[in-house]
Amino acid sequence: MKKKLLLPFAALVSVASFAMAEPFYNTDTSSAYQEVSPSVSHPYIGIAYGLTNVSDDYFDGYIDEHTDIDYDSLMLQVGYEISPYIAFEFRYWFSMNDGDYSLSTNYPMPPLDGSYNDFNAWGLYLKPQYPVSPEFSIYGLLGLSGVQVDGQPDWYDNLVDDTSFSFGMGGAFNFTENISAFVDYVQLYSNIYGNDYYYGDYYYNPQGTDIYTINFGLSYKF
């Protein structure tokens, strides 16, 4: 997962270096950054490459299993900024490849063929944000997501198909008045169980699923 972070990060650095070759402020007022009045609102769109991780634990009293799945995903973004401090945003993620998964268990079993070949998710968010400077801002994401992970034969045909509270945080860098790059972390899904009842005894059951994504993207403000 750490190695996959290097490529999108290097790409963003390259784009930033190119954009910063021309000063953010310059004498050409038609292309220079103009500070937005709090009363001005506008829509925006965006696209991002996402590193998505699905972590699933299952325990039935005897068998303890852990499944870890990594996806390369694409995220599409549509939002509406009410002011420099608040926006509403809709996001949609989908996998660009079959999930790269690993399975560990304390129960001897033969290797499984196949993969989790489908991941998609949507999220609807309230986006509080704070412009630290004309070039840089930080933001949070609070909302609701719907997630689906399925497709591995002979194991979990439908691992997740549910909605969940979702949250995230990130930062954005404005290259121009209209174009910005962003990096953020979003917790898409979390469903963790506690104690369970098994053959007359209560025990701690650590089964549950966590899904998060790290996104590297560009957005265009109208």
- Is the pLDDT assigned to residue 73 strictly greater than 90? yes
Residues 44-69: b if buried by 16+ CB within 10 A, e if exposed? bebebbbbbbbebbbbeeeeebbbbb
User: What's the rounded Cα separation, in Å, for the pair 142 and 113?
Assistant: 38
Comparing 216 with 119, the larger pLDDT belongs to 216
- Of 96-100, 112-116, 197-201, highest mean pLDDT: 96-100
Indicate the class that CATH gives domain 2-23+46-221. mainly beta
11: left (phi over 0), alpha (psi -120 to 50) or beta: alpha
Listed in order, strand segments (DSSP E) in 9-157 are 42-59, 64-83, 86-95, 100-105, 118-131, 136-150
User: What's the rounded Cα separation, in Å, for the pair 168 and 124?
Assistant: 12
Spans of all domains in the chain:
2-23+46-221
pTM, 2 dp: 0.73
- Is the pLDDT assigned to residue 27 strictly greater than 60? no
Share of residues in the chain with pLDDT > 90 (%)? 45
Q: How confident is the model at residue 6 (pLDDT cuts 50, 70, 90)?
A: very low
The per-residue pLDDT for range 80-103, each reduced to its tens digit, is: 999 989 999 999 999 988 777 777
- Amino acid 124 reads L
Comparing 19 with 191, the larger pLDDT belongs to 191
